[in-house]
Amino acid sequence: MALQWDVILAFVLIVSLISAVQSRSRKSSAPVLTSDWFFGYPTALKMFTQYRPMLVEGYAKFNKHAFQVPGIKGWIVFVGRELYDDVRKARDDSLSMPEQVKDTVALEYTIDRAVALDPWHNSVVRKQMTQALGAKFPEIYDEITSAFQDELKLSGKEWKPVYAHDLIIHIVCRASNRLFVGLPLCRDPVYTQISRDFSGTVMFSGFLINLFPTFLKPLVGRWITAAPRARKGFEKFLVPMIKDRWRKEQEMGELWEKDKPSDLLQWVMDASKEHDSTPEDITNRLLGVNFAATHTTSLSFTHVVYWLAARPECASILREDVDEAVAKHGWTKTALGEMHKIDSFIKESLRVTGIGATAMGRKAMKDLTLSDGTFVPKGASVVMNLWGIHHDPTIFPKPLEFDPLRYSRRIEAGESEAGNSLATASGEFLFWGGGSHVCAGRHFASQEMKTMLAVIVSLYEVKFEGLADGVRPKDRWMAYSCIPDMKQRVMFRLRE
Ligand code: HEM
């Protein structure tokens, strides 16, 4: 038995080595930042801890132009602002986003094969869901305020220490699911726990699966993903709901059109008619959206809360911004649209310390030449150097400084509101990616984060436990991901 395992291991290693040699055999014409000794594996391993310093070094050394580094799966060509339009405009048959995601997150195993191969529900998120955000705002606001109350359970003038990410992920999960499936399911402890736990496992299990050669992925995928359990867990709730809605549609005919629920589940169900979907397939798509929405928003907003705790003097400025807009329009989407300082505070938090150092990863599906003359071979990745661009002093004066009103001042000075707003993707704000795959949920995520910040400054006081004003705990970096210090607690108390 022991001998068999030795043989299997040796076989896997040989196949992996052959595929590593193949994937590295052709380079881009961009300069190489580091050594590519031993197929670049030492550099690829170094990138687990040194990813951001390498991006900083390459951006400076090659004067913002493209450079390449050997990654785990092959050559990575990091590009600057000048090639944003190349990446943005590229179609999936030349620079492919789904193929890159396959190489990093292995969605067909970590979520579901049909969802990964034909994510038609993304356009429902992009269109129907985004169009409904104004009408759905009162519900999202209600969910956020009640989730804060339920989670914090504050009374009197006591300070309460909490782990910010733990608090925020509970609130984000409830608020998003209020839009996705409505009440009462968005508050169900079992349903929301599946969403929170599952979303956290996808990235890591995707990374592990991708270490194996293609023919072993289905086997490994079955062992190491949480997807089958999460799918089953979600099915228990959603399949009966979907069947019940279909039954009512049959029975009620035209009346159903007027009375049917207005939530993502229903919009996906309506769109599913063109795709012959089963209730299980619809459920998997909801699980996929939960993955896209939960950890991205909660990690991002934890960074925002940390900046608020580190800079308590900003709270009164933000509160005024909220009070002014709410006095004119009540708690509405229109009021939120006028909260430029709230918007600016979040955008600046995510510029200085976003959740990642790169953006818009694309896999070259054929040999191609970028507009600056850089040759990219089939199989290499092209990735925007987000960190370099977001910290470039020619774009952002004093780029390492947290300047909370950086963007709202630009609007006050007459610059375009759209160009400076949080939800706008651009070559200078790569947080949402760009082009045809730009984040489909960015308007909702922006609305959700702005509402959470507006609610916090209106109802609570916030500070770090055991840290002086102005001090923000150090972030942790894992490859290109930036994770706020999860051990630091934040204190909340009710405002007078
Ligand atoms: C702060 C929170 C979020 C961040 C930072 C974020 C970021 C991103 C990024 C970087 C992409 C890839 C874009 C590209 O490569 O060009 C993306 C895609 C996507 N996001 Fe988000 N996202 C967030 C929240 C959400 C939410 C709340 C939803 C859904 C409600 C969502 C749904 C999607 C979908 C469906 C895609 C795939 C779009 C496509 O391939 O056409 N995201 N997101």
Cα separation, 426 vs 430, in Å, equals: 6
Cβ neighbours of residue 193 closer than 8 Å, sequence gap 6 or more: none
CATH code of 420's domain: 1.10.630.10
Does residue 354 carry a pLDDT above 50?
Answer: yes
Distance (Å) from CA 338 to ligand 1 centroid: 24
Please tell me the pTM assigned to this model. 0.94
Closest CA to 370 of 97, 64, 82: 82
Of residues 440 and 104, which shows the higher confidence score? 440
Element (DSSP H or E) covering residue 471: none
DSSP state string for 243-266: HHHHHHHHHHTHHHHHHS--SHHH
- Residue corresponding to tokens 């911004």: 321
Of residues 227 and 237, which shows the higher confidence score? 237
State the pLDDT at residue 72.
81
Q: Which atom of ligand 1 is nearest to the CA of 430?
A: 10
Residue nearest to ligand 1 atom 35, measured at CA = 122
Q: Measured in whole angstroms, how far is the alpha carbon of residue 199 from the centre of its chain?
A: 11
Distance (Å) from CA 98 to ligand 1 centroid: 13
State the pLDDT at residue 60.
98
Residue nearest to ligand 1 atom 20, measured at CA = 439
Residue nearest to ligand 1 atom 7, measured at CA = 432
User: pLDDT digit string (tens) for 144-155?
Assistant: 999 999 999 999
Does residue 127 carry a pLDDT above 80?
Answer: yes
Does residue 87 carry a pLDDT above 90?
Answer: yes
Residue nearest to ligand 1 atom 21, measured at CA = 439
Distance (Å) from CA 253 to ligand 1 centroid: 35
Partners of 274 in the β-ladder: none
Residues annotated within the binding site for heme are 439
State the pLDDT at residue 39.
73
Residue nearest to ligand 1 atom 43, measured at CA = 439
Mean pLDDT value of segment 401-430 = 97
Cα separation, 326 vs 476, in Å, equals: 37
Partners of 489 in the β-ladder: 163
In the chain, what is the greatest distance between 2 CA atoms, to the nearest angstrom?
76
Partners of 494 in the β-ladder: 460
Q: What is the DSSP letter of 29?
A: S
Q: Which atom of ligand 1 is nearest to the CA of 123?
A: 41
Q: Which atom of ligand 1 is nearest to the CA of 301?
A: 1
Residue 404, SS3?
coil
Q: How many domains does the chain have?
A: 1
Q: Which of 16-25, 221-230, 285-294 has the highest mean pLDDT?
A: 285-294
Cα separation, 190 vs 213, in Å, equals: 35
Q: Is the dihedral of CA 415, 420, 426, 430 positive or negative?
A: positive
Distance (Å) from CA 362 to ligand 1 centroid: 15
Ligand 1 site-directed mutation target among 95, 439, 449, most atoms within 8 Å of CB = 439
Distance (Å) from CA 197 to ligand 1 centroid: 19
For residue 370, give Cα distances in angstroms to 98, 125, 200, 421, 491: 20, 31, 35, 29, 50
For residue 362, give Cα distances in angstroms to 89, 196, 261: 12, 27, 37
Distance (Å) from CA 5 to ligand 1 centroid: 41
Q: Is the dihedral of CA 477, 478, 480, 482 positive or negative?
A: negative
The answer to whether residues 145 and 455 touch, using CB atoms and an 8 Å cutoff, is: yes
Ligand 1 site-directed mutation target among 133, 165, 296, most atoms within 8 Å of CB = 296
Of residues 119 and 26, which shows the higher confidence score? 119
DSSP state string for 272-304: HGGGT--HHHHHHHHHHHHHHHHHHHHHHHHHH
Percent of the chain with pLDDT over 90: 81
Residue 208 pLDDT level (bands cut at 50, 70, 90): confident
What is the pLDDT of the chain when averaged over all its residues?
A: 93
Distance (Å) from CA 360 to ligand 1 centroid: 11
Residue 95, SS3?
strand
Radius of gyration of the chain (CA): 23
Does residue 45 carry a pLDDT above 90?
Answer: no
User: Which structure tokens are listed for 141?
Assistant: 């606001």
Residue nearest to ligand 1 atom 18, measured at CA = 439
For residue 162, give Cα distances in angstroms to 195, 302, 310: 21, 12, 15
User: pLDDT digit string (tens) for 153-173?
Assistant: 999 999 999 999 999 999 999
State the pLDDT at residue 202.
83
Q: Which domain holds residue 340?
A: 2-494
User: pLDDT digit string (tens) for 94-123?
Assistant: 999 999 998 888 888 898 999 999 999 999
User: pLDDT digit string (tens) for 60-77?
Assistant: 999 999 999 998 888 999
Cα separation, 61 vs 69, in Å, equals: 13
Least confident piece of the model among 36-50, 435-449, 467-481: 36-50
State the pLDDT at residue 1.
46
User: Which structure tokens are listed for 364?
Assistant: 């070259």
Distance (Å) from CA 496 to ligand 1 centroid: 38
State the pLDDT at residue 11.
65
Distance (Å) from CA 90 to ligand 1 centroid: 18
Q: Ligand 1: which residues within 6 Å by Cβ?
A: 97, 122, 125, 289, 292-293, 296-297, 300, 355, 359-360, 431-435, 437-441, 444-445
Cα separation, 326 vs 315, in Å, equals: 16
Distance (Å) from CA 355 to ligand 1 centroid: 13
Q: Which atom of ligand 1 is nearest to the CA of 449?
A: 1
Residue nearest to ligand 1 atom 24, measured at CA = 293
State the pLDDT at residue 7.
66
State the pLDDT at residue 68.
97
Mean pLDDT value of segment 398-417 = 97
Does residue 14 carry a pLDDT above 80?
Answer: no
Q: Measured in whole angstroms, how far is the alpha carbon of residue 343 from the centre of its chain?
A: 18
The answer to whether residues 385 and 59 touch, using CB atoms and an 8 Å cutoff, is: yes
> Strands 75-79, 67-70: parallel, antiparallel or unpaired by DSSP?
antiparallel
Residues annotated within the binding site are 439
The answer to whether residues 175 and 196 touch, using CB atoms and an 8 Å cutoff, is: no
Residue nearest to ligand 1 atom 19, measured at CA = 439
State the pLDDT at residue 476.
95
User: Which structure tokens are listed for 193?
Assistant: 């726990």
Ligand 1 site-directed mutation target among 95, 286, 442, most atoms within 8 Å of CB = 442
State the pLDDT at residue 212.
81
Cβ neighbours of residue 60 closer than 8 Å, sequence gap 6 or more: none
Backbone dihedral region of 456: left (phi > 0), alpha (psi from -120 to 50 degrees) or beta?
A: alpha
Does residue 491 carry a pLDDT above 60?
Answer: yes
Residue 369 pLDDT level (bands cut at 50, 70, 90): very high
